[in-house]
Amino acid sequence: MDSSQGLKSLKQIKTTTTKDDPRFKEEDQPLSPMARLFHEPGSNVYIISMLGCKTKIRPDVVKQNLVHSLFRHPRFSSLQVTDNKTGDIKWVPTNVNIDNHVIVPEIDPNIEFPDKFVEDYMSNLSRSSIDRSKPLWDLHLLNIKTTDAEGTGVFRFHHSLGDGLSLMTLFLACTRQSSDTEALPTLPVSKDTAYIKVTSLWSVLEILWNSIVAVMMFVFTVLFLKDTETPLKGSVGVENRPRRFVRKSVSLADIKVVKNAMNVTLNDVVLGVTQAGLSRYLNRRYSEFRCALTLFKKEMCLLYTNCRQSNPTLFPNGFLRLRRTVARLKVIACVIALTYI
């Protein structure tokens, strides 16, 4: 993204407001320190995600629903304006033109490689930034048939609007049930009230020991170690280089098989499969750097710690069990897309 200007060089933006809007009854709110960080040079980060649809996307329906859902959120209907005197950035509510945020490009329906077109389209979005004269988000509707969808929506949000969890929660709040168009979607609730069941004094001591080891490893890493030189390590100016998006559809049923066999979470399975595939990819393509094995050990140790923290009593030999189960069920095939990078 564009990182040539810092906070001090941001110019004041003229805004138009509607005083009848209840959002304007409160004073302009300043950005949080974390949100301001995402405007620093080298940290101007955008979140780009995609959503496939089983039918062609109707832009008029999308716009109509966004007006009554997303536009009601203050951050999606406010500008980020810099005060010339103090240099602070504040949220300033403004009128939003839906046509400036929902983009429907003209696409040749007979394009030869539609999947690659979508990937390249997302890559081009990562090279540009959103004009600060409007709220920092947009939605691109691509009515082109791909392998997995009849139409694709590509969302782009500036990271100062929120993190992934808050944006996913907001997205769910904008949807409705297919059986009842007025009802919000329901999410399954875990039967267990706690993620970690403490069954004995030994389990408590085990958790304390793992926590102490994790803290000590973090301290020693900061004081004495440095990042391993790998082909994946970013160098100076990496934020300005072109990016490529490669996607791969994975059967959720296969992931659930591993999840149930290991008694872990979906995140644990996805992390383990991804790290295993990444290490094999590095070992095959960059073996001369002798970095794949080191990266594999470090990442699998981190995975082992995460898995033990998720269920330390039922996952005593998580590292070995994870490797054996993943290899046995051959779910590593889901990360074969890494070979196309």
Of the residues 39, 140, 158, 159, only one is catalytic, namely 159
Question: Which pair of tokens denotes residue 278?
Answer: 């990444």
* 140 part of the active site: no
Which residues partner with 152 through β-bridges? Answer: 52, 142
Phi, psi torsion values for 326, nearest 5 degrees: -60, -45
Q: Which DSSP helix (H) or strand (E) runs through 78?
A: strand 78-82
**Residue entry with tokens 């995460």:** 306
DSSP state, residue 184? P
Give the torsion through C-alpha atoms of 230, 236, 240, 246, to 10 deg: 10
Cα angle at 48 between 124 and 229, to 5 degrees?
A: 80
Residues 6+ apart with CB under 8 A from 190: none
Return the residue matching tokens 């297919």: 178
Percent helix, strand and coil across the chain, each rounded to 5? 45, 10, 45
Quote the CA–CA distance of 260 and 266 in Å, as a whole number: 9
- Indicate which residues carry an active-site annotation: 159
